Amino acid sequence: MGSKKKSKPGRSKKKPKTSADQALALDYVRAWAHPTPPEPSAADADADDFLPVQVARVGGGDVLFELHSHSNHSDGFLSPSALVERAHRNGVKVLALTDHDTMAGIPEAVSAASKVGIRIIPGVEISALYNPRDGRYLRAKNMLAKLNKLKVLIKWEHVTKIAGEGVAPGRLHVARAMVEAGYVENVRQAFNKYLGDDGPAYARGSEPFAEAVVQLISRTGGISALAHPWSLKNPDAIIRSLKGAGLNAMEVYRSDGKVDGFSELADKYGLLKVGGSDFHGRGGKDESDIGTVKLAITTLCGFLKMARPIWSAAMKNILLKFAEEPSSANLGNILKFGGLTNAEDFSSTNTGTDVVDFCLSSWLSNDDMEDVERDEVRLKLAHYAAEQRHQLHSHLE
């Protein structure tokens, strides 16, 4: 009873066959994650001295994306460089650094990633409020915290009782609680001494509203994804509202697999399904390591097809700025796409005709690059490099 059939030796489970759609998606993702840089022209034979080696630009293989991670620029424990090193050890090829409410770690991550052939997708996990009432609750609690530091001890329960059931507390309710507790004689005194706009206990709502954040991301050329939807009290209504504001994607996958019900919600509202390890580097058995949440190749393909037109438009804008005003600063913005940083070396070692293609190939396929008007910029770069070399030689003479 309860015995199991022994598997015959020499046999192993067959891997599921790859569908035509999956094969096309894999080719699409590989072409982006492992691009081959353009060959330098004969006129730029010395370009090899300028263009750095990019480890992951050649070859195929599996492509591991990590779309949710944190560094010590927010609540993570590793520096951006250490985070990139760990991702590299774990086989990650594309890493999104998504610190809380800051992008300060992105430059360091990009620099570290360029040395090991990892692509960095600049990201940020923005704290936001869905219900305006939530903002009022947070603001009132911040005021009480400030009052407590001033030795004015007001209980939260006292304020909410004054506000009444279902009413979000505000400054007036806090002021009335201060009167009842005997700290001030009247509401006016509470405002004049503590709660006025210039008062020591004044607090403003800090987090923006979620719909406004989604709209801002859309306007500035980003992809918006809802993180941790399973933590919401009323996810369906919130996701519906955010979709109306322009939401592109939502997290569905995490370390313990696909979360029940949220894949269906993503389908219901036509949202791309994404996920990640949410790695912080704290250690411990409960934390998923970076790169352990593997996304379906069709999901990665869908993400790139959504993102690449946005990246293409951003690059075109940067190229046109250089064409309009050739300068070291505007050149630096182009070089960043290829993981390059030294504009001075550019002026002395390279004529510039291949630099644009090299930098664009860091993010776009050959087909994407055809949509970017780069010929004028290449000419401008060649002239700019010649002028810089002439100025350098004149200075040396």
Model confidence over 192-239: pLDDT tens digits? Answer: 999 988 899 998 766 788 999 999 998 888 899 999 999 888 899 999
Residues 6+ apart with CB under 8 A from 281: 70, 76, 77, 78, 82, 83, 86, 287
**pLDDT at res. 317:** 80
- What ranges do the domains of the chain cover? 26-32+46-127+219-295, 132-195, 305-396
State which of 166-175, 269-278, 368-377 shows the largest mean pLDDT. 269-278
Helix axis angle for 106-116 and 80-89, nearest 10°, is: 30
DSSP per position, 154-218: --HHHHHHHH-TT----HHHHHHHHHHTTSSSSHHHHIIIIISTTSTT-----SPBHHHHHHHHH
pLDDT digits (tens, 9 = 90+) for 131-188: 766 677 888 898 999 999 999 999 999 999 998 887 778 888 999 999 999 999 999 8
**How far apart, in Å, do the first and last CA atoms of the chain sit?**
95
Q: Which CATH superfamily is domain 26-32+46-127+219-295 in?
A: Metal-dependent hydrolases (3.20.20.140)
Residue 255: burial class (beta carbons within 10 Å; 0-12, 13-18, 19+): middle
Tell me the one-letter amino acid at 249.
Answer: A
Percentage of residues in the chain having pLDDT higher than 70: 71
- CA 395, CA 338: separation in Å to the nearest integer? 29
CATH architecture of 132-195: Orthogonal Bundle (1.10)
pLDDT digits (tens, 9 = 90+) for 315-358: 778 778 877 887 878 777 777 666 565 555 454 445 555 666 66
Q: What is the model's pTM?
A: 0.69
